[in-house]
Structure 1
Amino acid sequence: MNDNYDVIVIGGGAAGLSGALTLSRARRKVLVIDAGRPRNAPAGGAHNYLGREGVNPLELLRIGRGEVESYGGEIVQGEAVKASGKNGGFTVELADGSTVDGRRLLVATGLTDELPDIGGVAERWGKDVLHCPYCHGWEVRDQSIGVIASTPISVHQALIWRQWSERITFYANDSVELDETQRRQFAARGITVVEGRVRSLDDLNHDAFVVTAKARSNADVLTALGLEVADHPAGTYVPADGEATAIPGVWVAGNVTNLMEQVIGAAAAGVRAGAAINMDLIEEETELAVAQLPA
């Protein structure tokens, strides 16, 4: 790492790398700090990404890193633990104690899935334990699918997954009390309801399972700047106007601010954030240049 950058991007997933690529192509001096823990690493493929349908998530990131570096962007593996400073001058501290300075920040640290305490869920997450039908529905179409409730959102999930298979079983798991309307909807769609708590996936016989994980925004690095997360029915997120946060000079993109964003949407958000950051820098530089003109 060098001492100072135009933009420090925290997070090297689809959003962070897309932002870094946009900024590097804009001839900005960019550093990406990546902890190397992509959320979708357990998945066999990333889907609904036009032109890259089904690509292995880690391969997609490898390609993206190469593209960023081809335009002069720098990438370092490390964990950013704290950001401090103000618009025009930020310092990011890494877990190893090193620091780096930048004029602007783009935070694309994603989220952490907090899985329900059910035996087998963590071990099989991203394989035959799923959450997003648009990411995995085609791969398990027409199979026997058990939807295990943990929040009221699970009811909505069961109805959505019914689009991919007629063999849906809903486990209330002592977490959801279905009302009469919901029971009629399930009956009309042929969704079997099983009451009682689920303790282990080994006790159930299905080809795939669906669970609702609480999505916690990975925003601790922003705490020192005074930026707090907000609550969402599915977890927590960093509020933003578009990609701009309430802290001048700090942008966010991807799942850290939009819990439902898919890979292609996160990449698009990174591009938007990169363009906005570049424009913000141009305005600052233009103002300084005008101030230096002879009277």
Structure 2
Amino acid sequence: MTGAYHDTTDRTSYDVVVIGGGAGGLNAALVLARARRTVAVVDAGEPRNAPSAHMHSFLSRDGVPPLTVLETGRAEIARYGAVLIDGRVDQVEAGEKGGYVVHLAGGAALRARHVVLATGLRDELPDIPGLRALWGNDVLFCPYCHGYEVRDQPLVVLGVHPASPGQALLLRQWSHDIVYVPHSLPLTDEDRERLDARGIKVAEGPVSTLLTKDGRLHAVELAGGRTLECAAVFLFPRMTPNDAAFDGLGCERDEQGWLVTDRAGRTTRPGLWAVGNVVDPRAQAVTAAGMGAAAAFALNHDLVDEEVERDLAAHRAAAGNPSGTPAPVS
């Protein structure tokens, strides 16, 4: 992704700093910039869906390359005065006079009244030769994103996560030719029965390597030498939120370690917001974009409330009535 839009001013203080320039972060920035807020988006240019050739299930953007969508979004936020800073955030800390200080790698710092975390998550993949090079193209996770493109073709599902059997059952909607390989997680008797009832074959693993032909997946090779020809491999990766920047701020997390937010994206720390995959691993790009918009609406209202209270206090002080006590009636 090119870094076409940069902050070329000396500004270091903003109403809002958005960390992460994916669909969620850019849509939050777009709404806030149109609300005439000063907004900076800090982005390292490494979107989770970069390996994928096309984005799907995003109304009006179905089939468009993910990077094209992000480039369009960058241009749109720039049109309304939001700025893009190519870089990484090391840490967010509370400011001495309120708000937050966003420390960038390299030593620079930005001050913000509010911060939106939209940094997504990391997909931790099993260590299988040939797998990582195919991730996002012939090795897939989301049936709703890619199932239609491999419909009615032979598919292999790797058992690497407790949710893997359910992933195979879901994929049965797109193909009748599915083989489940319990790679690192043995099947329970109940799961084996459910797969059998849906006509999903089981081939005992583990997988030793993924075989390619002309750069595309050709087959899965099992440890015993057996090969399973297939058009795609589906697996359920271990997902970890990219939220280290908020460490030390005391935000509440759930039992799985994900940041807790309300429906608008507020964390339990006032002025800190989180949207997209960093709080919801199920969120597709279109979902993340909606979360970004919802957070921006609520965030702007919170800023207006803060400003009304500030202006009201100044108005009362100027009138000689700082407490706001009603004047006695004569």
**TM-score of the pair, normalised by structure 2:** 0.85
Residue matched to 1:206: 230
Helix, strand or coil at the partner of 1:290? helix
**8 Å contact 1:237–1:259 — kept in the other structure?**
no
How far apart, in 1, do the equivalents of 2:210 and 2:279 lie? 32
Q: Which residue of 1 aligns with 2:290?
A: 268
Task: Give the aligned residue type for 2:47.
Answer: P
Contact between 2:156 and 2:179, CA under 8 Å: does it hold in 1?
Answer: yes
1:132 match: 142
Residue 231 of structure 1 deviates from its aligned partner by: 4.4
Match of 1:83? 92
Q: Which residue of 1 aligns with 2:48?
A: 39
State the partner residue of 2:109.
99
Instruction: Tell me how far 1:176 sits from its aligned partner.
Output: 2.6
Give the C-alpha shift of residue 3 in structure 1. Answer: 1.7
Query: In structure 1, how many angstroms separate the alpha carbons of the residues matched to 2:184 and 2:281?
Result: 25
- Stretch moving more, 15-24 or 91-100: 91-100
Q: Could you report, residue by residue, the CA deviation over 1:242-264 in whole angstroms, capped at 9, with x for unpaired residues?
A: 20001110000000001100110
How far the C-alpha of 1:127 sits from its partner, in A, is 0.7
**TM-aligned CA deviation for residue 239 of structure 1:** 1.4
The alpha-carbon deviation at position 229 of structure 1 amounts to 4.6
% identity of equivalent residues: 43
Q: Which residue of 1 aligns with 2:18?
A: 9
- Show CA shifts across 1:132-168 (max 9, x none): 0000000000111000110110000000011100010
Equivalent residue for 1:280, pick from 302, 311, 317: 302
Q: Which runs of 5+ in 1 are unaligned?
A: none
Residue matched to 1:19:
28
In the aligned structure 2, how far is the partner of 1:186 from the partner of 1:149?
Answer: 12
Structure 2 distance, partners of 1:216, 1:150, is 15
Partner of 2:179: 169
Report the CA distance between 1:183 and its aligned residue: 2.3
Asked if 1:226 is matched to 2:250, the reply is yes
3-state SS in 2 of match to 1:82? strand
1:228 to partner: Cα distance: 5.9
What residue is the counterpart of 1:290 in the other structure?
312
Distance 2:254 2:46 in 1: 23
Q: Is 1:68–2:69 an aligned residue pair?
A: no
Contact (CA 8 Å) 1:82, 1:93: kept in 2 or not? yes
Amino acid aligned to 1:183? R
* Alignment match, 1:142: 152
1: distance between equivalents of 2:32 and 2:239? 29
CA–CA distance in structure 2, aligned partners of residues 143 and 230 of structure 1: 39
Where 1:164 maps in the other structure, the secondary structure is coil
Q: Could you list the runs of 5+ residues in structure 2 that have no partner in the other structure?
A: 1-6, 212-220, 222-226, 322-330
Counterparts of 1:278 and 1:104, CA distance in 2: 10
Cα distance in 1, alignment partners of residues 184 and 243 from structure 2: 31
Q: What is the root-mean-square deviation of aligned Cα atoms in Å?
A: 1.4
The 8 Å contact of residues 24 and 276 in structure 2, kept in 1 or not, is answered as yes
Verify: 1:30 aligned to 2:39, yes or no: yes
User: Residue type of the partner of 2:141?
Assistant: H
In structure 2, the residue matched to 1:241 is: 262
| Residue pair 1:217, 1:229 contacting (<8 A) in 2 also | no
Is the CA contact 1:144–1:207 (under 8 Å) kept in the aligned structure 2? yes
CA distance in 1, matches of 2:104, 2:233: 38
DSSP-derived class of the 1:221 partner = helix
CA distance in 1, matches of 2:246, 2:12: 21
For residue 286 of structure 1, report the CA deviation from its aligned partner.
0.1
Q: Which has the higher helix share?
A: 1
Tell which structure's C-alpha radius of gyration is larger: 2
Contact conserved, 1:118 with 1:199, CA < 8 A, in 2?
yes
Residues of 2 paired with 1:18 and 1:157: CA distance? Answer: 30
